[in-house]
A and B are shown apart, each in its own frame.
Chain A
Amino acid sequence: MPHDHPDHFHHHGISSSGHPYRADNDEPLTYWQRMEIAVRELLIEGGHVTAAEVAQQINTMDSRSPANGAVVVARAWADPEFRARLLQDASAASREMGFDIGPLKLIAVENTAKVHNVIVCTLCSCYPRNLLGLPPDWYKSREYRSRTVSEPRAVLREFGVELPDSVTVRVHDSTADMRYIVLPLRPNGTEGMSQTALAELVTRDSMIGTGLVQAP
Protein backbone atom coordinates (compact mmCIF):
# COMPACT_ATOMS: atom_id res chain seq x y z
CA MET A 1 0.00 0.00 0.00
CA PRO A 2 1.43 3.39 -0.96
CA HIS A 3 0.55 4.94 2.39
CA ASP A 4 2.72 2.47 4.20
CA HIS A 5 5.74 3.89 2.43
CA PRO A 6 8.20 5.16 5.04
CA ASP A 7 8.68 8.39 3.05
CA HIS A 8 5.04 9.29 3.47
CA PHE A 9 5.63 11.89 6.15
CA HIS A 10 8.56 13.51 4.36
CA HIS A 11 7.42 13.78 0.75
CA HIS A 12 10.98 13.88 -0.50
CA GLY A 13 12.37 12.10 -3.49
CA ILE A 14 10.31 10.28 -6.05
CA SER A 15 6.71 9.21 -5.57
CA SER A 16 5.55 5.67 -6.25
CA SER A 17 4.24 6.92 -9.60
CA GLY A 18 7.75 7.98 -10.58
CA HIS A 19 7.37 11.75 -10.24
CA PRO A 20 9.10 14.03 -7.75
CA TYR A 21 6.91 15.21 -4.90
CA ARG A 22 5.73 18.75 -5.34
CA ALA A 23 6.03 21.07 -2.36
CA ASP A 24 2.72 22.03 -0.73
CA ASN A 25 1.84 25.66 -1.35
CA ASP A 26 1.31 26.49 2.29
CA GLU A 27 3.64 29.47 2.44
CA PRO A 28 2.03 32.77 3.57
CA LEU A 29 -0.06 34.76 1.10
CA THR A 30 1.69 37.59 -0.70
CA TYR A 31 0.60 41.19 -0.28
CA TRP A 32 -1.33 41.17 -3.56
CA GLN A 33 -2.99 37.83 -2.86
CA ARG A 34 -4.30 39.27 0.41
CA MET A 35 -5.36 42.45 -1.41
CA GLU A 36 -7.31 40.43 -3.99
CA ILE A 37 -9.12 38.47 -1.28
CA ALA A 38 -9.90 41.65 0.68
CA VAL A 39 -11.28 43.51 -2.34
CA ARG A 40 -13.31 40.50 -3.47
CA GLU A 41 -14.82 40.00 -0.01
CA LEU A 42 -15.70 43.71 0.26
CA LEU A 43 -17.36 43.65 -3.16
CA ILE A 44 -19.40 40.61 -2.16
CA GLU A 45 -20.31 42.01 1.29
CA GLY A 46 -21.33 45.30 -0.29
CA GLY A 47 -23.64 43.52 -2.70
CA HIS A 48 -21.75 44.64 -5.85
CA VAL A 49 -21.12 41.09 -7.04
CA THR A 50 -21.93 37.64 -5.80
CA ALA A 51 -19.48 34.81 -5.21
CA ALA A 52 -21.31 32.90 -7.94
CA GLU A 53 -20.69 35.71 -10.43
CA VAL A 54 -16.98 35.73 -9.61
CA ALA A 55 -16.83 31.96 -10.12
CA GLN A 56 -18.79 32.29 -13.37
CA GLN A 57 -16.33 34.87 -14.69
CA ILE A 58 -13.39 32.60 -13.85
CA ASN A 59 -15.16 29.77 -15.68
CA THR A 60 -15.67 32.03 -18.70
CA MET A 61 -11.98 32.96 -18.74
CA ASP A 62 -10.92 29.34 -18.40
CA SER A 63 -13.28 28.22 -21.17
CA ARG A 64 -11.57 30.36 -23.81
CA SER A 65 -8.93 28.51 -25.74
CA PRO A 66 -6.89 28.73 -28.94
CA ALA A 67 -9.63 26.64 -30.57
CA ASN A 68 -11.64 29.88 -30.84
CA GLY A 69 -8.91 31.65 -32.79
CA ALA A 70 -8.36 28.54 -34.91
CA VAL A 71 -11.96 28.65 -36.15
CA VAL A 72 -11.52 32.28 -37.17
CA VAL A 73 -8.28 31.48 -39.02
CA ALA A 74 -9.80 28.50 -40.83
CA ARG A 75 -12.71 30.60 -42.03
CA ALA A 76 -10.35 33.33 -43.24
CA TRP A 77 -8.46 30.71 -45.27
CA ALA A 78 -11.63 29.31 -46.80
CA ASP A 79 -13.63 32.50 -47.29
CA PRO A 80 -11.81 35.40 -49.03
CA GLU A 81 -14.52 37.92 -48.18
CA PHE A 82 -14.33 37.03 -44.49
CA ARG A 83 -10.52 37.26 -44.70
CA ALA A 84 -10.84 40.81 -46.05
CA ARG A 85 -13.23 41.73 -43.23
CA LEU A 86 -10.90 40.17 -40.64
CA LEU A 87 -7.93 42.19 -41.88
CA GLN A 88 -10.07 45.32 -42.01
CA ASP A 89 -11.56 44.96 -38.51
CA ALA A 90 -10.72 41.81 -36.58
CA SER A 91 -12.99 42.78 -33.65
CA ALA A 92 -16.06 42.97 -35.88
CA ALA A 93 -15.13 39.80 -37.79
CA SER A 94 -14.71 37.87 -34.52
CA ARG A 95 -18.04 39.11 -33.20
CA GLU A 96 -19.63 38.10 -36.49
CA MET A 97 -18.52 34.54 -35.66
CA GLY A 98 -20.13 34.76 -32.23
CA PHE A 99 -17.03 35.34 -30.10
CA ASP A 100 -17.40 37.79 -27.25
CA ILE A 101 -14.23 39.77 -27.61
CA GLY A 102 -15.27 42.55 -25.26
CA PRO A 103 -14.37 46.19 -25.80
CA LEU A 104 -10.79 45.51 -26.87
CA LYS A 105 -9.67 46.30 -30.38
CA LEU A 106 -8.25 43.35 -32.26
CA ILE A 107 -5.93 43.63 -35.25
CA ALA A 108 -5.20 40.62 -37.46
CA VAL A 109 -1.81 40.62 -39.18
CA GLU A 110 -1.37 38.35 -42.15
CA ASN A 111 1.63 36.15 -42.88
CA THR A 112 2.57 35.90 -46.54
CA ALA A 113 5.41 34.37 -48.53
CA LYS A 114 7.30 37.64 -47.91
CA VAL A 115 6.24 38.64 -44.36
CA HIS A 116 6.20 36.80 -41.04
CA ASN A 117 4.49 38.45 -38.07
CA VAL A 118 5.13 37.78 -34.39
CA ILE A 119 3.40 39.25 -31.35
CA VAL A 120 4.85 40.36 -28.04
CA CYS A 121 4.01 42.70 -25.20
CA THR A 122 7.26 44.20 -23.93
CA LEU A 123 5.59 46.23 -21.17
CA CYS A 124 3.46 43.51 -19.57
CA SER A 125 1.50 40.55 -20.95
CA CYS A 126 -1.18 41.93 -23.33
CA TYR A 127 -2.58 38.98 -25.27
CA PRO A 128 -5.75 38.32 -27.32
CA ARG A 129 -7.31 36.37 -24.43
CA ASN A 130 -10.82 36.52 -25.78
CA LEU A 131 -9.78 34.54 -28.84
CA LEU A 132 -6.82 32.50 -27.56
CA GLY A 133 -7.50 32.05 -23.83
CA LEU A 134 -4.83 32.66 -21.21
CA PRO A 135 -1.29 33.27 -22.48
CA PRO A 136 1.40 30.62 -22.05
CA ASP A 137 3.84 31.35 -19.21
CA TRP A 138 6.74 31.95 -21.62
CA TYR A 139 4.80 34.77 -23.29
CA LYS A 140 4.96 36.69 -20.00
CA SER A 141 8.64 35.92 -19.33
CA ARG A 142 11.21 38.70 -19.37
CA GLU A 143 13.28 36.66 -21.81
CA TYR A 144 10.55 36.38 -24.47
CA ARG A 145 9.47 40.00 -23.99
CA SER A 146 12.97 41.43 -24.37
CA ARG A 147 14.51 39.09 -26.93
CA THR A 148 11.55 39.08 -29.34
CA VAL A 149 12.15 42.76 -30.09
CA SER A 150 15.96 42.59 -30.18
CA GLU A 151 16.57 39.22 -31.87
CA PRO A 152 13.25 37.88 -33.17
CA ARG A 153 14.85 35.47 -35.65
CA ALA A 154 16.90 33.81 -32.91
CA VAL A 155 13.77 33.48 -30.76
CA LEU A 156 11.79 32.03 -33.67
CA ARG A 157 14.59 29.54 -34.39
CA GLU A 158 14.28 28.27 -30.81
CA PHE A 159 10.59 27.68 -31.52
CA GLY A 160 11.60 25.71 -34.61
CA VAL A 161 10.73 28.46 -37.10
CA GLU A 162 13.60 29.05 -39.49
CA LEU A 163 12.92 31.94 -41.88
CA PRO A 164 14.91 32.70 -45.03
CA ASP A 165 16.43 36.18 -45.49
CA SER A 166 13.84 36.85 -48.19
CA VAL A 167 11.12 36.97 -45.51
CA THR A 168 10.71 40.20 -43.52
CA VAL A 169 9.99 39.72 -39.83
CA ARG A 170 7.46 42.16 -38.43
CA VAL A 171 7.31 42.28 -34.64
CA HIS A 172 4.14 43.74 -33.12
CA ASP A 173 4.53 45.17 -29.63
CA SER A 174 1.10 45.46 -27.93
CA THR A 175 1.99 48.63 -26.06
CA ALA A 176 -1.46 50.19 -25.59
CA ASP A 177 -5.07 49.42 -26.50
CA MET A 178 -4.75 46.98 -29.43
CA ARG A 179 -4.48 43.22 -29.29
CA TYR A 180 -3.05 41.17 -32.15
CA ILE A 181 -3.60 37.82 -33.75
CA VAL A 182 -1.49 36.40 -36.56
CA LEU A 183 -3.30 35.00 -39.57
CA PRO A 184 -0.82 32.23 -40.39
CA LEU A 185 0.01 30.97 -43.88
CA ARG A 186 -2.25 28.20 -45.05
CA PRO A 187 -0.04 25.18 -45.70
CA ASN A 188 0.18 23.62 -49.13
CA GLY A 189 -1.68 20.36 -49.54
CA THR A 190 -4.75 21.50 -47.63
CA GLU A 191 -6.85 22.40 -50.67
CA GLY A 192 -10.36 21.03 -50.38
CA MET A 193 -10.19 20.49 -46.62
CA SER A 194 -13.25 21.54 -44.63
CA GLN A 195 -13.07 24.53 -42.29
CA THR A 196 -13.46 22.14 -39.36
CA ALA A 197 -10.49 20.07 -40.51
CA LEU A 198 -8.44 23.20 -41.23
CA ALA A 199 -9.14 24.60 -37.76
CA GLU A 200 -7.65 21.46 -36.21
CA LEU A 201 -4.32 22.27 -37.89
CA VAL A 202 -4.10 25.78 -36.43
CA THR A 203 -1.96 25.92 -33.29
CA ARG A 204 -1.82 28.55 -30.57
CA ASP A 205 1.80 29.36 -31.44
CA SER A 206 0.94 29.90 -35.10
CA MET A 207 -1.49 32.65 -34.04
CA ILE A 208 1.19 34.28 -31.83
CA GLY A 209 3.68 33.96 -34.69
CA THR A 210 6.07 31.61 -32.91
CA GLY A 211 4.90 28.67 -34.99
CA LEU A 212 3.92 27.73 -38.53
CA VAL A 213 0.88 25.67 -39.46
CA GLN A 214 1.91 22.29 -40.80
CA ALA A 215 0.02 20.26 -43.38
CA PRO A 216 -1.45 17.05 -41.93
Chain B
Amino acid sequence: MAERVRVKFMMPPGHIRTPAFLRGKVGEIERELGQFSNPEQLAYGLAADQRPLYRVRFTMQEIWGDAAECPTDTLDAEIFGHWLEKV
Protein backbone atom coordinates (compact mmCIF):
# COMPACT_ATOMS: atom_id res chain seq x y z
CA MET B 1 0.00 0.00 0.00
CA ALA B 2 1.24 3.46 -0.86
CA GLU B 3 2.56 5.64 1.93
CA ARG B 4 0.06 8.21 3.18
CA VAL B 5 1.31 11.69 4.00
CA ARG B 6 -0.13 15.02 5.07
CA VAL B 7 1.15 18.32 3.70
CA LYS B 8 2.12 20.41 6.71
CA PHE B 9 -0.22 23.30 7.37
CA MET B 10 2.32 26.10 7.50
CA MET B 11 2.10 29.56 5.96
CA PRO B 12 5.70 30.83 6.07
CA PRO B 13 6.66 33.86 3.98
CA GLY B 14 9.01 33.64 1.03
CA HIS B 15 9.41 31.60 -2.14
CA ILE B 16 7.45 28.40 -1.43
CA ARG B 17 6.78 25.71 -4.03
CA THR B 18 4.03 24.02 -1.99
CA PRO B 19 0.66 25.26 -3.28
CA ALA B 20 -1.49 26.76 -0.52
CA PHE B 21 -4.55 24.77 -1.65
CA LEU B 22 -2.76 21.52 -0.73
CA ARG B 23 -1.63 22.51 2.77
CA GLY B 24 -3.15 20.27 5.41
CA LYS B 25 -4.33 17.75 2.77
CA VAL B 26 -3.60 14.01 2.88
CA GLY B 27 -2.35 12.11 -0.14
CA GLU B 28 -0.31 9.10 -1.18
CA ILE B 29 3.28 9.09 -2.38
CA GLU B 30 3.05 8.33 -6.11
CA ARG B 31 6.82 8.12 -6.57
CA GLU B 32 10.07 9.35 -5.09
CA LEU B 33 11.91 11.76 -7.36
CA GLY B 34 15.32 11.98 -5.68
CA GLN B 35 17.19 14.90 -4.12
CA PHE B 36 16.74 18.46 -5.34
CA SER B 37 17.99 21.85 -4.22
CA ASN B 38 15.63 23.47 -1.74
CA PRO B 39 13.92 26.28 -3.69
CA GLU B 40 13.23 28.18 -0.47
CA GLN B 41 16.98 28.87 -0.25
CA LEU B 42 17.80 28.79 -3.95
CA ALA B 43 15.39 31.66 -4.66
CA TYR B 44 17.47 34.00 -2.49
CA GLY B 45 20.88 33.01 -3.85
CA LEU B 46 21.70 31.04 -0.70
CA ALA B 47 23.61 27.77 -0.63
CA ALA B 48 20.73 25.33 -1.05
CA ASP B 49 20.34 22.06 0.86
CA GLN B 50 19.50 18.93 -1.07
CA ARG B 51 16.02 17.78 -0.07
CA PRO B 52 13.99 14.74 -1.12
CA LEU B 53 11.16 15.50 -3.54
CA TYR B 54 8.03 13.38 -3.91
CA ARG B 55 5.08 13.20 -6.23
CA VAL B 56 2.01 13.09 -4.00
CA ARG B 57 -1.40 12.08 -5.33
CA PHE B 58 -4.52 13.62 -3.79
CA THR B 59 -8.14 12.88 -4.56
CA MET B 60 -10.33 15.82 -5.55
CA GLN B 61 -12.58 14.75 -2.65
CA GLU B 62 -9.68 15.35 -0.24
CA ILE B 63 -8.82 18.74 -1.74
CA TRP B 64 -12.26 20.22 -2.35
CA GLY B 65 -14.59 18.15 -0.15
CA ASP B 66 -18.24 18.30 -1.18
CA ALA B 67 -17.39 20.97 -3.75
CA ALA B 68 -15.32 18.49 -5.78
CA GLU B 69 -16.35 18.34 -9.43
CA CYS B 70 -15.67 14.58 -9.52
CA PRO B 71 -14.47 13.22 -6.13
CA THR B 72 -12.44 10.33 -7.55
CA ASP B 73 -10.41 12.42 -10.00
CA THR B 74 -6.92 13.09 -8.75
CA LEU B 75 -4.25 15.75 -8.58
CA ASP B 76 -0.53 14.96 -8.45
CA ALA B 77 1.93 17.57 -7.20
CA GLU B 78 5.62 17.62 -6.34
CA ILE B 79 6.13 18.28 -2.64
CA PHE B 80 9.45 18.50 -0.80
CA GLY B 81 9.99 16.09 2.10
CA HIS B 82 10.25 18.81 4.71
CA TRP B 83 6.64 19.75 3.91
CA LEU B 84 5.31 16.22 4.53
CA GLU B 85 4.43 14.30 7.67
CA LYS B 86 3.44 10.65 7.88
CA VAL B 87 -0.22 9.96 8.59
Interface residues of A (CB under 8 A from B): 105, 122-123, 149-154, 165, 168-178
Are B33 and A178 in contact (CB-based, < 8 A)?
A: yes
Are A165 and B70 in contact (CB-based, < 8 A)?
A: yes
A178 to B64, CA, bound (A): 24
A171 to B77, CA, bound (A): 9
Are B76 and A172 in contact (CB-based, < 8 A)?
A: yes
Are A153 and B74 in contact (CB-based, < 8 A)?
A: no
Are A123 and B69 in contact (CB-based, < 8 A)?
A: no
Are A176 and B17 in contact (CB-based, < 8 A)?
A: yes
| Nearest-CB residue, chain B, relative to A105 | B33
Residues of chain B contacted by A152 (CB below 8 angstroms): 69, 73
| Nearest-CB residue, chain A, relative to B19 | A122
Could you jot down 23 A-B contacts, CB within 8 Å?
A122-B21, A123-B17, A149-B21, A152-B69, A152-B73, A153-B73, A168-B74, A169-B70, A170-B74, A170-B76, A171-B74, A171-B76, A172-B75, A173-B19, A173-B75, A174-B78, A175-B17, A175-B18, A175-B19, A175-B78, A176-B79, A176-B80, A177-B78
B23 located at the interface, meaning its Cβ lies under 8 Å from any Cβ of chain A in the complex: no
Are A150 and B64 in contact (CB-based, < 8 A)?
A: yes
B72 located at the interface, meaning its Cβ lies under 8 Å from any Cβ of chain A in the complex: yes
Interface residues of B (CB under 8 A from A): 17-19, 21, 33, 36, 39, 53, 55, 63-64, 69-70, 72-80
| Nearest-CB residue, chain B, relative to A180 | B76
A105 to B78, CA, bound (A): 12
| Extra 19 A-B pairs, beta carbons < 8 Å, given A168-B73, A169-B73, A173-B77 | A105-B33, A123-B17, A150-B69, A151-B69, A165-B70, A169-B70, A170-B75, A170-B76, A171-B74, A171-B75, A172-B75, A172-B76, A172-B77, A174-B78, A175-B78, A176-B36, A177-B33, A177-B78, A178-B55
Are A177 and B76 in contact (CB-based, < 8 A)?
A: no
Residues of chain B contacted by A123 (CB below 8 angstroms): 17, 19
Residues of chain A contacted by B79 (CB below 8 angstroms): 175-176
Residues of chain B contacted by A170 (CB below 8 angstroms): 73-76
Residues of chain A contacted by B63 (CB below 8 angstroms): 149
Residues of chain A contacted by B17 (CB below 8 angstroms): 123, 175-176
